[in-house]
Structure 1
Amino acid sequence: MSRWKALPEELDPRVRQLVVRLRRLKDHGGLSMRQLAARTGYSPKSWERYLGGSSLPPAEAVAALARIGGDDPTRLLALHEVAAEAWRKGRGQAAVPEEPLSVPELVSGGPGEEERPHTRSLRVALVAGAVALVLAVSSAVLVTMRLMDRGDGAAARTAPLAVSAPASSPPAYGCRIERVDGRWYAGNSRTGTATVAYGDSGPGVAEVQCLLRRAGVSPGGIDGMFGPLTRGAVVRFQKRAGLVGDGIVGPHTWKALRG
Structure 2
Amino acid sequence: MPRIKPLPDELDPSVRQLVARLRELKAHAELTTRQLASGSGYSARSWERYLGGTSLPPRAAVQALARITGADPVRLLAMHEIAAGSWDTRRAESAVQPRPGEHEPEERPQSEDEKEGQRERERGQGQPPEASVPDPGPTATPTSRTATPATEPPPRRLPHIALTAGVLALTVAFIAALLLVLRLDENVAPAAVATSAGTAATTPPHSYLCRITRTDGRWSAGINNGRDTEISYGDTGADVAEAQCLLRRAGISPGGIDGMFGPLTLRAVKTFQDRAGLVVDGMLGPRSWKALRG
Q: What TM-score do you get using the length of structure 1 for normalisation?
A: 0.40
TM-score between both structures, scaled by the size of structure 2: 0.36
Q: Give 1 or 2 for the bigger CA radius of gyration.
A: 2
